[in-house]
């Protein structure tokens, strides 16, 4: 299996949408009574949290990429010489 980058926003969105599906399935199966409007806050809240997780994840990746990219022409970013 090919490796891919971890995307926490998609994970969070998937968990909340699966939760909404379980709520509707339980209502359809007669296990419990669920008003129709209960799923709206679950889905909207999950999408908002997924967006926030995606923004944080992207910011962390971008910050790591900038920190890992050193300019060899810049003496301030050059590695310290051990012989000094």
Tell me if 49 sits within 8 A of 12, measured CB to CB: yes
By the 8 A CB rule, do 43 and 20 touch? Answer: yes
Q: Can you give the pLDDT of all 84 residues of the chain as single tens digits?
A: 778 888 999 999 999 999 999 999 999 999 999 998 999 999 999 999 999 999 999 999 988 888 877 655 655 555 555 555
46, 19 contact by CB (below 8 A) = yes
- pTM for the whole thing? 0.73
């Amino acid at each position: 299996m090919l490796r891919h980058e971890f995307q926490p926003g998609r994970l969070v969105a998937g968990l909340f949408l699966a939760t909404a599906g379980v709520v509707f399935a339980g209502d359809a199966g007669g296990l419990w009574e669920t008003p129709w409007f209960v799923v709206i806050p679950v889905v909207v809240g999950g999408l908002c949290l997924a967006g926030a997780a995606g923004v944080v994840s992207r910011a962390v990746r971008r910050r790591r990429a900038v920190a890992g990219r050193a300019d060899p022409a810049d003496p301030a970013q050059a590695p310290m010489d051990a012989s000094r």
